[in-house]
Chain A
Amino acid sequence: MAAPLVLVVLAAVTVRAALYRSSLAVFIAERVEVASPLNSWKRVVEGLALLDLGVSPYSGAVFHETPLIIYLFHFLIEYAELVFMITDVLTAVALYLAIQDFNKVVFKKQKLLIELDKYAPDVAELIQTPMEMHYIPLKVALFYLLNPYTVMSCVAKSTCAINNSVIAFFILATIKGNTVKKKRVLYDFLLSLEIAFLSAVFLALATYQSLYPLTLFAPALLYLLQRQFIPIKLKSKSFWLYTMQYASLYVCSLVVIICLSFFLLNSWDFIPSVYGFILSVPDLTPNIGLFWYFFAEMFEHFSLFFVCVFQINVFFYTIPLAIKLKEHPVFFMFVQLAIISIFKSYPTVGDVALYMAFLPVWSHLYRFLRNIFILSCVLIFCSFLFPVLWHLWIYAGSANSNFYYAITLTFNIGQILLISDYFYAFLRREYYLTHGLHLTRQDGTEAMLVLK
């Protein structure tokens, strides 16, 4: 499988290099859908220039990147294009390897459940075969690398690519956790510590970069518990022990990373500039998210309340989803990633591209998706309408912000409906697997599954 992957990588790199050299690069770099105040390249350059002039880059509300990014780009700023292309390639390779391992896990689990006779007799057509699962990792890498959103994000040199790669490495570390070579260890929990360590480190790094991957703690924990065959009961001692270990690993690595960042500039300035900025949303530049319009028209004394409401909205779906999807943590991770990229305070199309890369993993759900045609049309049309209405609003002056916000709303509704459609299809397939394909009601007529 390496050769097609290499071909895909080469194609992606060519496309990006070609776009870098063309005149479109400047046009794309300044689009608000691609570059938000958190991750635009102009601000990175500005922050580094301020640093060269002897001023802290966090003074003044220009620079909102973490100190590790300062360190990374201080030496690599001349090779920025190369860095971003390599980052994209690394993300794709990480996703490829992760999905490869995930497929093995899925297949093993499926085999186990078939042997245990947990499936109904007539669901043979729903079972995934290795044949069709063979090309899924390649498709995932393809979806990520050649997605127009990713390409635009890379050409704009938005640091969203770095965030995506950290999350991808985190997913790889989590999924690969069980295949670390088992060494001779004395105690069981030491082994589990080894497994979870890299995953916790990458999760801490992802949370440090942008606050929202905090919510990915739950699916990662559920996955690792599943791998350890620890049942998820609230009274189980091993469950709490493992949770405590993972949580403490995660928190400790986060604290270590933050303290290390303090030593870069010898100040804690970066905390209000990065996390305070993400949480309190002071910059209301239009983007593809939902925050800017609301807060632009809101009265001052309500804004604190609504900021809290909007931010809780991002974190809120974790618990119900954890309860519902505790058997399927990787799907939970996908849904959580989607929720983060829809409801975060400054979303860009790079975030959308990350969760869209996972769609081939659930291509077997295709027959249960109800609205996929309409939703894909909505998403494609909205993507094209964004620059049109921006031009009408800002340059031609014949539209106003309501038009652009309408497209934002439609785009986000499209994304939400996409996720809920996949959610419905997933649950429906699970139900069919255990209860058989032809459901009958009590009086013998054919029944329909409804998501309540």
Chain B
Amino acid sequence: VCTSRFWFNYRHVANTLSVYRSVKRLGIPDSHIVLMLADDMACNPRNPKPATVFSHKNMELNVYGDDVEVDYRSYEVTVENFLRVLTGRIPPSTPRSKRLLSDDRSNILIYMTGHGGNGFLKFQDSEEITNVELADAFEQMWQKRRYNELLFIIDTCQGASMYERFYSPNIIALASSQVGEDSLSHQPDLGIGVHLMDRYTFYVLEFLEEIHPASQTNMNDLFQVCPKSLCVSTPGHRTDLFQRDPQNVLITDFFGSVRKVEITTEALSLDKDVAGSESKFPDEELATEPLKYAEQLPVAQIIHQKPKQKDWHPPGGFILGLWALIIMVFFKTYGIKHMKHVF
């Protein structure tokens, strides 16, 4: 999530896009990435190289291109949308690409960058998200079983204040600076005229460049990235809510999509009749409800219409009373003897 807009916040967009690239490189497909950007850099009139966003000086690496899929762009990047994505409380008309379709076995990486302060993060120069809201959102996710483990990285000024309030289990949090410190940007590019990256993200990316899908680097190495000598601010991290030892957590658990694959050379015949195999283990079989994913997309609601309500009819007493009155008035004014002519 990049929470800034305007040309002078170029570096935040470059940060986010660089992390996006690394994550894609390590195997996570676009369907599993929700990218929220203001997306006003590449086509900004002040961009001397239109349709590009560079993340290294001397314009070495263009992180924008045809294969960048922005899910929430421009004014859609709001606190409300962000929280709705996290908690899953999204209107039924939202397309799949804008949803976080995670379940209780998913590891989620959240990277946020922008301008922040002590306890808040500024969204698009018009609203803020507080650390309490974020912590509550994560708790909602935990209660709805929307994550297995969560890695939260934030690169803003006083970023550590954002993870102070987390209280849900299985969260690791990393921030680029402590409370009271500012995160600084890395390198201005004289050709483009703005700072291209922030220091913390720059060093994180240098670190990530060495990761490949099979690497065994763990979280402790990530905590060492960007010491004070390089970053000027002191990066912080929080692991007390995490149940495993960070030593044993692989970087690719969060940044890459690594699956355990077993290659077998034998042929397996898939039997239609599975009842036979089940009867071998009768005592192991417990009558359990079949496990299913939490309902992310309310398909039933979309496909099936609600039954039409019964139409309202005026009560019979009313109709009777009304017409009796009308007939009474008619005969009162025109005389009862006219009834003879009617009949």
Contacts and interface: CB of A to CB of B under 8 A. Distances in A.
A266 interface: yes
A115 to B, nearest CB: 33
Nearest to B312: A51
Given A54-B309, A256-B325, A71 B333 contact: no
Nearest to A177: B333
A198 B313 CA distance: 29
Interface string A38-63: 00000000000001111000000000
B335 interface: yes
Interface residues of B, number: 17
A235 B333 CA distance: 31
Contacts of B312: 51-52, 54, 74
A54 B308 CA distance: 11
A328 B311 CA distance: 51
A165 to B, nearest CB: 16
Contacts of B314: 70-71, 74, 264
Interface string A250-288: 000000100010011010000000000000000000000
A181 interface: yes
B322 interface: yes
Given A194-B332, A198-B333, A52 B325 contact: no
A354 B311 CA distance: 36
A40 B23 CA distance: 57
Contact of B315 (A52, A53, A197, A263): A263
Nearest to B310: A54
A158 to B, nearest CB: 23
Contacts of B325: 256, 260
Interface string B313-332: 11101110110010001001
Interface residues of A, number: 20
A201 interface: yes
A200 to B, nearest CB: 10
B334 to A, nearest CB: 8
A251 B312 CA distance: 31
A429 B201 CA distance: 94
Contacts of B332: 194, 197
B333 A266 contact: no
- Tell me whether chain A's interface is mostly helix, strand or loop, or mixed: helix
B333 A264 contact: no
A319 B321 CA distance: 36
Contacts of B313: 74
A197 B325 CA distance: 13
B170 to A, nearest CB: 45
B322 A52 contact: no
A263 B315 CA distance: 8
A61 B307 CA distance: 27
A452 interface: no
Contacts of B311: 52
B329 A197 contact: yes
Interface string B62-75: 00000000000000
Interface in A50-106: 51-54, 68, 70-71, 74
Interface of B: 309-315, 317-319, 321-322, 325, 329, 332-333, 335
8 contacts: A54-B309, A54-B312, A71-B319, A74-B314, A197-B329, A260-B322, A263-B317, A264-B314
| Chain A to chain B: the 9 pairs with minimum beta-carbon distance, closest first | A51-B312, A263-B318, A198-B333, A264-B318, A260-B321, A71-B314, A53-B309, A52-B312, A263-B317
Given A201-B329, A260-B325, 9 more contacts: A52-B309, A53-B309, A54-B309, A54-B310, A74-B313, A181-B335, A197-B329, A256-B325, A260-B322
